[in-house]
Amino acid sequence: MASSARNLDWGCRGDDVTSLQADLGTLGYDTYGVDGIFGQNTYNAVLGFQKAKGLPADGVVGKNTRTVLNEELNGVSYVLAWGDSLEAVALKYGTTVQAIRQKNGISSWILPPGLRLLIPDRVNAAEPSRGSNRYGEMADWWTVASKVFAIGDVATITDLDTGLKYQVVRKGGSKHADCQPLTAADTATMLKIYGGEWSWARRAILVSVDGRVFAASQNGMPHGGQSIWDNNFPGHFCIHFLNSRTHGTDNLDPAHQAAVHKAAGLAK
C-alpha cells in the first residue's frame, strides 16, 4: 500500500485511495472499482477487513489499520516480474504451484508481468521440481536458456514420456531454438518418438546442455533450412522454453508452454 500521511475515510479522494482500493481487492475485499473515491463500497470493504482482523470497525484507515493491511499484503502477495515462473514463486514462499493456481483462480500457464498473486499458506506436500531427476529446470528463454544453449551447442534431448534420448545442435533461432538432429541415428530415434511419422505435435522434453537440464517442448516437423546434409532430416525443428515465442507471430505458443510445464513436473 502506498504510504499516506492522512487517515482515509468516507469522501477522501486521491492516489492513496486508489492504492487502498487495489490492495483491498488483492486481499479479497472487493471495492467494486478502483476509482480513487472513498465511497460506500470502499467503506464496506474496509469494515470487512477490520472485522476480519479484529480491529475497531470504524471504516477509517488510520495507522493501525494501515499497518495490518501492509502486513497482510507483504505476507500473502507477490507481483510477477519478467521471467518469473510459478515454480520459482512456489519455492520462494514454501507452497506449491497447484496451491497458487487454486488461490488465484489461474487456468492459463501464460502469466503477464505485473500480475499480483495471492500466496497461499505454506504447505508440506512437495511438488516435482528441478531437483527431481525426472524433470527439468524452468529457465526463462531470454535471460537463461538462450545463453546456456547457444547457437552451435550440442544438447542431449530426453523425451519425457518415452525416455528415449538423442542429440541435436542448435543452428539458429532468436525467439526459440531452431535445431537439427546431429546424426542420422539421432533422426531415427526422434522419428521413433513420433511413431514413424513427422508431426507438429508438441512433446515435453528435457534439454541437457553444459551441465544443466532444462524443461522444454519441441515439435517434430522438418521445415525451413538445413545445414546438416547427412542426418536424414530435411530441415530443422523448433524447441521452446519458458517464455519463448514463435518467430512468425512473436506470440507465446500455449501448447508449447503447457509442454514446458509438463517437462518441469508442473502439469500432466
pTM to 2 decimals? 0.56
* Per-residue pLDDT tens over the stretch 17-59: 998 998 888 777 889 888 999 999 999 999 999 998 889 999 9
What is the dotted CATH code of the domain comprising 80-118? 3.10.350.10
Domain 141-263 is of which CATH architecture?
Roll (2.30)
* Per-residue pLDDT tens over the stretch 221-256: 999 999 999 999 999 999 999 999 998 888 889 899
Stretch(es) of the chain classified as CATH 3.10.350.10? 80-118
Stretch(es) of the chain classified as CATH 2.30.110? 141-263
Q: Could you tell me which residues come within 8 angstroms of residue 163 by beta carbon, excluding any fewer than 6 positions away?
A: none
Q: Which residue has the higher pLDDT, 262 or 98?
A: 262
CATH superfamily for domain 15-76: PGBD-like superfamily/PGBD (1.10.101.10)
